[in-house]
Amino acid sequence: MSTSRLVTLDCDYVQPQLAASYLRVQDGEAAFIETGTARNLAALLAGLDAEGVAREAVRYVIVTHVHLDHAGGASALMGALPNATLLAHPRAARHLIDPSKLVASARAVYGAARFDGLYGTIEPVAAERVKALDDGATVPFGAGSLRFVHTRGHANHHFVVVDPSASAVFTGDTFGLAYPRLQRAGRFAFPSTSPTDFDAAEARASIEKVRTLGMERACLTHFGALTDLDAVAAQLTRWIDLSESLLTQSLAHPANEAEAWIRARLTDAMEDAARAAGLTLDEGDRALTGFDIDLNAQGLAFAASKKRA
């Protein structure tokens, strides 16, 4: 069996091929990049077993940021891996050590029953097992190393993970979403602007950082490894430009109408982009993209509300 492997594991978040965790094996050591939620712990451990890797051999668990589809399973996974260190952005690390604010906020949004169904139990991770990484920091991994590059735009507490041994960069949400279901006619990628930290200029800069790192593959959490980085970057940048324009235009509308106004235009833009790519969206596609359109509209409307203030 090869000493160097990169395995994509489906977290089956909401539906298959929506969110991925990556298992890297290198020179007798292993790392998980992204954890999904506590609900998919068994799937991640089954992936480890399938690769013949002992739980004691996992050196790192890494989360690109603390949004719960990426990091909600961190405490559960760390509990199963006795020698692992949890690596995170400095702004994210404190929320892994004390997740109470994250949990309270998400419960307020989803309600207790929906939250429990999606995310399960989120426990604190012991501070001594969490390491915060500054921009440009490196950690040893196997015979090589991993490097961490801070990427704002989607969230202020986001980094990407550069893995030269695999010629891969693990991009979290920085390099957009490319659901396998939507790739039938060719590449079809779009960004996530859902969080409260959306910043168009930083999003464009982060996309360019990823594009120019010199890695052959971008491994997206949503979903899978891509090699056509230039094409993806161009698509994402067009969407960011549109999102910035809609945010600005929405300021001319009453605050209580901004989100609906933005959502309608994002919906039209998704249909237009699909047609331009030769993709005919079906109802399943629209259900999938509609979830992100709703989140993106909420994020842009919130960013607009901050500008109003």
pLDDT averaged per 10 residues in sequence order, the chain, 309 residues = 86 92 96 95 96 97 93 96 98 94 84 85 95 98 96 90 98 97 96 85 96 98 97 97 96 94 97 94 95 93 88
Q: What's the start-to-end Cα distance of the chain, in Å? A: 58
For residues 13 and 69, the answer to whether their CB atoms sit within 8 Å is yes
- C-alpha 309/C-alpha 86 separation (Å) is 37
Same-domain pairing of 86 and 14: yes
For residues 147 and 240, the answer to whether their CB atoms sit within 8 Å is no
Domain count, the chain: 2
Give pLDDT, residue 1. Answer: 43
Q: List the structure tokens of 168.
A: 């891969």
Give pLDDT, residue 58. Answer: 98
Of the candidates 208, 228, 248, which is a domain's last residue?
A: 228
- C-alpha 103/C-alpha 304 separation (Å) is 25
Within 8 A by CB and 6+ apart from 215, the residues are 162, 163, 164, 167, 168, 169, 229
Same-domain pairing of 121 and 147: yes
Same-domain pairing of 129 and 240: no
Same-domain pairing of 182 and 297: no
Same-domain pairing of 149 and 34: yes
Domain extent, residue 282, equals 236-308
Same-domain pairing of 41 and 181: yes
Give pLDDT, residue 194. Answer: 78
Q: Running DSSP on this structure, what letter comes out for residue 13?
A: S
Same-domain pairing of 195 and 242: no
Same-domain pairing of 249 and 278: yes
Q: What's the CA angle centered on 129, arms 127 and 135, to 5 degrees?
A: 90
Q: Coil, strand, or helix at residue 236?
A: helix
Q: Coil, strand, or helix at residue 103?
A: helix
Of the candidates 228, 253, 278, which is a domain's last residue?
A: 228
- C-alpha 151/C-alpha 202 separation (Å) is 8
Same-domain pairing of 199 and 271: no
Give pLDDT, residue 307. Answer: 85
For residues 176 and 192, the answer to whether their CB atoms sit within 8 Å is yes
For residues 86 and 99, the answer to whether their CB atoms sit within 8 Å is no
Same-domain pairing of 90 and 118: yes
For residues 235 and 176, the answer to whether their CB atoms sit within 8 Å is yes
Nearest to 154 by CA among 188, 190, 200: 200
Residue 122 sits in a domain whose CATH number is 3.60.15.10
**Residue 255: HSE in the Cβ half-sphere, 13 Å Cα cutoff:** 8
Of the candidates 209, 228, 247, which is a domain's last residue?
A: 228
Same-domain pairing of 224 and 240: no
- Which residues partner with 29 through β-bridges? 26
DSSP string, 44-77: HHHHHHHTT--GGGEEEEE-SS--HHHHTTHHHH
Same-domain pairing of 93 and 217: yes
